[in-house]
Amino acid sequence: MTTLSQFTPAETLLLSEGTFPTLRQLLKLTFIDLFFKQVIKTESSLGPEFKDLETGQEKYVVPGMNYYTYSPLPHEMAFLQPFEKYPSTKLLFRHFVQLAYKNVGGKNRYIRLLCNSNAVQGYVTQHFFQKITGRCSLTPEGKTVQQKLNAELNELETTLPGLIENSKDEAIAILKKIKGNVFLLVNIPFDKWDAIDKELMMQVNGTVKTDRNTMAGCSGGGCSGCSTWNSYSDYSNSFDSGCGGSDGNAGCGGTSGCSSGDSGGDSGCSGGGGCGGGD
C-alpha cells in the first residue's frame, strides 16, 4: 500500500475521484484523520476523566496529545486554527464543525488548498477558471497515481476484512501505513474491530497500558478513554449533524461554543453563517 500511504484521506479522494466529493465529505475525512492521529480529541462535559460518552453529555473538541508536535498541512488548518491563540479552548463538537466550515471559506478554496499540497504536486493542475470554479485536472502522472490508488483501495476492500479476522498483526501493519485512508473503504465493518483497535491506537500513538487496563495519554473518544476505529460511525454522524441537514448549510447560532477556560471569548464562531456557502 505504498501509494495510499503517501496521502491524507482528502488528498486521496481528490486524486481518486477528482472534485466530485462534497465539501462535507472532504472535511469529515480530514477531521477523522486528525482525530485518529490524536492531533485533536474529544472530552465529555464532565471532563477528560469521564469515559462514558454514551450518556447524552455534550462533547467538546480539544487539542490531542500530538497537537504540539504535529506539523499541519494547509487543508488541515481549518480544524486547528481555533487552538492556535488559546490552546486551552474547548469547543462544543457542533460548533467546532461549524467553525471549520467558516475557516475553510467554501469548497473552491478548499480544493485550491488540496491542489497546492506538496504531496499532490505534479499530479494535478488548475488553470484560472478551474480555480474560480473549484475544479482541477489530473496530469498524466496524476492519472497513473489515480490508477494505483484505486487498485490499492479495491484490494483492501477485498482483503482487509479477512485479515482483521485471521491475521491481526498484518492488518495492524497495513492500517498503520494508511491511517485515515481506511475510512475511504466501503463495506468495512468498523463496529467489529474491537479485536485490534486499541492495540493499533497504542502502536500508532506510542501509548502504554496502565495497571487499570486503560491507555495512558489517550483520553477522549471510544472506550477506556482511547479513540478507536469503531468510533468512526459516532463521529461521522456527529460531524454530519454539526452543520444541519444540508452540506454546509447552518450557522453558529450566535454562540461561541467555548467552555469557560482561557478562550477569552474569541472563538471565531460568533455571528451567523459559519457554515454558509455549501458546495
pLDDT for 271: 29
pLDDT for 273: 29
Q: Using CA atoms, how far apart are residues 40 and 36, in angstroms rounded to an integer?
A: 8
Question: Which residues does 108 contact at the CB level (< 8 Å), separation at least 6?
Answer: 131, 132, 133, 134
What percent of the chain has a predicted confidence (pLDDT) above 70? 62
Position with higher pLDDT, 30 vs 47? 30
Element (H, E) at 28: helix 23-36
Q: Give the total number of structural domains in the chain.
A: 1
pLDDT for 131: 85
Contacts 24+ apart (CB under 8 A), 16-20: 16/146, 16/149, 16/150, 16/153, 16/184, 18/135, 18/136, 18/138, 19/111, 19/134, 19/135, 19/136
pLDDT for 89: 87
> pLDDT confidence of 220, banded at 50, 70, 90?
very low
> Mean pLDDT over all residues of the chain?
72
Q: Does 275 map to a domain?
A: no
What percent of the chain has a predicted confidence (pLDDT) above 90? 29
3 state SS of 188? coil
pLDDT tens-place string over residues 68-85: 999 999 999 999 998 988
| Range with the poorest average pLDDT among 32-36, 94-98, 168-172, 212-216 | 212-216
Q: Does 274 map to a domain?
A: no
Q: Does 132 map to a domain?
A: yes
pTM of the predicted model over 0.75: no
Position with higher pLDDT, 171 vs 206? 171
Q: Does 92 map to a domain?
A: yes
Please check the confidence at residue 201 and state whether its pLDDT lies above 90: no
Q: Does 76 map to a domain?
A: yes
Element (H, E) at 138: strand 137-138
Rounded mean pLDDT of 117-131? 91
Q: Does 119 map to a domain?
A: yes
Q: Does 273 map to a domain?
A: no
pLDDT tens-place string over residues 125-158: 988 888 888 899 999 999 999 999 999 999 999 9
In the chain, the N- to C-terminal Cα span, in Å, equals: 31
Residue 147 belongs to what domain range?
A: 4-242
Q: Does 250 map to a domain?
A: no
